[in-house]
Structures are given as C-alpha cells and as structure tokens.
A and B are shown apart, each in its own frame.
Chain A
C-alpha cells in the first residue's frame, strides 16, 4: 500500500506539488492525470525518492519512506519511463536482468527469471535476448522496459507516461497487455499519463491534478458521472463523456431477460461495453441487441431505451 498525506514539494520558491493526499491500496491501479507541468511526474518520483519530498509523509507498507535506504527502496519498486532508459550497450537479456543482478541473485536464477519475463511480455528469448535496444521497435523496447521493471517481482510499479511515445496502435496494444498483466499480477501501480482515455481504460482509481494540487479523485465512473469542475470535465472529453462512461460499463450488467418478442438479429457478447453496443446499434440500424455468452448462446437482450435509462439512473437524476 502507498499512502501520501499532505505531501508537498518545493523547488526554491516554486511549489511543484502542493499538499496532496492519496491512498493506493495494495493491488490497485492508480492513474495520475493532468496537463504537463501539473506535478504528476514529480509526485511519482517522490515515491521512489528520485526526488525527496519537502513536507508531509509518504508511507509504504506502513513505514515512512525516509526510513528506507534509498537504494534498497528503489530495488523493490519497479519503474518504467517514457523513453525506456534502456542501457544501449547492454543486450535485452542483460537489461532485464539488471535488478536481480543488483540483488545478487545467482546467474541461473537471473537467467530463468529473464526468460520467464520475456515469455510473459511476448518477446521470444531466442529472437530478442541478444538484440540491442537500438535494434528494437518502440513497442518492443517498452516491453523490455516493463520486463526490467518487473524483474525482481516488486510489489509496486511506478510508470511515468510509459506509452506516451508510441504510435496509437502499438499504444493500445500495450495498454491491453498491461491490463491483462495487472489482472494476473495484482501489482500496486501508480501510472502517470496525460491521456485521459488511457487512464479511464486502465485505472481503478483516478487522480486529476492541476498546478500541483489534486482537483478530484475517485473511480473512473464516479469522475465521469460527476466531474468536480469544468477543468475535469474538459479533461474527460466534454461531450464525449457519455460515450466514455458507456465504454466503462459492461453489457451484461445492464441487459434484461429475453422478452416474448423474437430475438434481435444482432448479437453482442456480454463482456462488451455499452459503447460497443451503441456502435453496433448504429451500424445495424437496430434499437435492440441479443446478448450472448462466451459460447454464443443468447442469455438476454439490450435495448436502446434501456441504455439511456441506465445512464440516467447512473447519473442520479432519473427523469421518468
């Protein structure tokens, strides 16, 4: 667990981070979102003491971080940055094995751990182990970056705009993979990004920052439903907000049981989002969808009226 209470950071007269309090429970994914220069990266770097905080307490697993030896602290916290920071003179396998070697693991342990991680991140050891960072594409290099951060199996993972420099397709792919990885590994993640869609997609807990302060924090759905001010609302996409909210809601949580009428032609898996359901309705000129399970067996139905009604209920202002 990571806990920040009334933490501030001043550089000379300038206040980069101003009295922020934040709690990330174990195994949760917390995203810090904001425009550049809002103090989100500084906040992240205070957690592994790359930057020392000026005021307040940062507690890690019940102990203030000032009590840890900084070098030992960093070895138990994974860290991923935008431009990977891979060592260009080391090959992929050596880069990934860095922290285990620093922790003096035996050579065979390091080797098998590296192989395990490369497999986990979809980088075949035979093909990539001996490559150098400049021989990798942006996406491959960032996978290596993530593997290196996970190498010593840290409980905490800090990610500073890890996918910011990637093309949209690669970025989306890596986001999906990170979500899957997190569902398996349950790390405590603090993730910095300026991309609200990325944050909505990955985070359990969303923290919006502006000029060093936390403007609003809560679950993605809670923020979408009631943004605290126009700034948060504009970050959340203004008019697009409705769709973003729909993207976070699953079809199967809102479907109704099958009616007496004939089942609709279009079928949608229950795990899809309401946004995808809306899109399918627009595409198929239909206001009704049949919901199916993973074996393509109909389990319920979803109507346009139902989606709209649910959205109103979620917003807490039913008009019917």
Chain B
C-alpha cells in the first residue's frame, strides 16, 4: 500500500494560518482610520485643494455614511444570495431544468443593464431614497451568484451524485449533505464578486438621495472639490478591500474543510 506524504503538506497549511488574517486586519484598520480620523490628514487634503474653503467632508460623519453604505449593500446581498442560490438550485433539479436557460439569461440581462439606467427607471416608480439603489444592486449582483451556483452544482461529479442516489439518500439529503457542501467554494466565490462589485456600485445611490459613502464623491464633483472625491473614493475602496479579503479568508477555510482533491 502506498502512503502519501500529506503530513508535510498539512503542516505547511497550519503555518500559513497566522498570516491569512493579515490582510483583513490591515485593510480593516486603514478603513477605521479613514472613517474616524479623516481630519488628521487635513494637511494632505489641503495640498490637493489649496483654495477650498473646507477640505474635510463634514455634512455627515463618515461613520454614519459607512453604516448606511453597509446597510444598503447588506440588504441587497441577503436578498440576492437567497434569490440567486434558490434559483440556481431550482433549475438544476429535475423538475426545474426546463427553466435553466431562462434563468441563466435573465441573470445575464440583469448585469448587462447599467445600474445608472436601473436607477433612472426605478426612481419614478419607487421615489427617491434607499429603495431604488437596493433594487439596482440586487439586479446587478444577481448574475455572479446565479452563475456560480449553477457552475458549482453542475460541477459536482456525476459519479458522486449517482452513488448518493444509489445508497438511498433522499433528494433533499443529497442537496444539503453532498451537492451544496461541494459547490460551496464556487458559490462563495460568486457571492464575493457580487458583494465587492456592489460596494462600489452602491455609491451611485448618492445621486438619488440615498445617503452613503457616495455622498462625498457626488458633493465633491458638484462643488469642484477634489479632496471630497478622494475621501469618498478612498473609504469605499478600503471597505471593498476589507470585505474582499474577509471573503478570501472564508473561502480558504471552506476549501481546507472540504479538501477535495
């Protein structure tokens, strides 16, 4: 019997465990600095905008803006994940496979539709405020999740599903105990793409009165104050990097747990 040298491998993996939290912590710390201590960098922003009356955006606290931003992205993410994963599951079942092309196309259509256009169309119906931007984010974020749920579930080897079936597992048991755990890394990658894109896209909400981290950017553009624009963009970028690196850690842990070859 051959034995594989897996010990040295797993040792190397545990060794890597410490620095895997490095990036989320680093980006998170920088994000906190930009949210709580933006004014500390006043001299820097003064250098960007020497003539402006004011260089630190102060119409609303960055903490409040961050909270609203996260709220919008979070609501959109929860809804997209539930709808996207459910749709992906439904059309890969035997009873739902007729709808597979339709769902795949609808999800692609959602992403080809620019969020700005969704906002323009949604405002007359839903009014100004937070709701139109949530709708826009949901439509825009649906594709990566649906696509990856489909890819993940379709990627589970036929032999594994056949075996599960032949052992006498019920369809729900196969889905929950075999298919979803095996598809999870791919689904999570889709969620990661969707959420990261939406963190940036949510800034558009500021144009329709949904106050969030897009506010300083819009205000900066309107008033010709580049310092505001930089502050908004920087905070959004740091938020996106923080969340993205958190997903990275989550994915790595999931992959280690599933440890499929």
Footprint of B on A, CB under 8 Å?
A: 48, 50, 71-75, 77, 79, 81-89, 98-99, 102, 132-135, 137, 139-140, 148
Contacts and interface: CB of A to CB of B under 8 A. Distances in A.
A79 B261 contact: no
Specify which of B168, B181, B257 lies most central, judged by the most chain A CB atoms within 10 Å of its CB: B168
B85 to A, nearest CB: 18
A87 B164 contact: yes
B162 A88 contact: no
A85 B182 contact: no
Given A88-B261, A89-B258, A137-B2, A75 B167 contact: yes
B58 interface: no
A84 B173 CA distance: 19
Given A81-B163, A87-B160, A88-B160, A71 B168 contact: yes
A140 B259 CA distance: 18
A134 B162 CA distance: 19
10 contacts: A48-B166, A79-B166, A81-B163, A81-B166, A84-B159, A85-B163, A88-B258, A88-B261, A102-B169, A134-B260
A54 to B, nearest CB: 19
B59 interface: no
B6 A85 contact: no
Contacts, number: 75
Contacts of A82: 159
B17 interface: no
Contacts of A75: 167-168
Interface of B: 1-2, 4, 6, 157, 159-160, 162-170, 173, 178, 181-182, 257-261
B168 A72 contact: yes
Nearest to A134: B261
Contacts of B260: 88-89, 134
A85 B181 contact: no
A102 B169 CA distance: 7
B90 to A, nearest CB: 22
Specify which of A73, A98, A139 lies most central, judged by the most chain B CB atoms within 10 Å of its CB: A98
A124 B165 CA distance: 28
B242 to A, nearest CB: 29
Specify which of B165, B173, B261 lies most central, judged by the most chain A CB atoms within 10 Å of its CB: B165
A136 B175 CA distance: 25
A87 B168 contact: no
A44 to B, nearest CB: 10
A135 B167 contact: no
Contact of A89 (B166, B169, B182): B182
Given A88-B258, A89-B182, A99 B163 contact: no
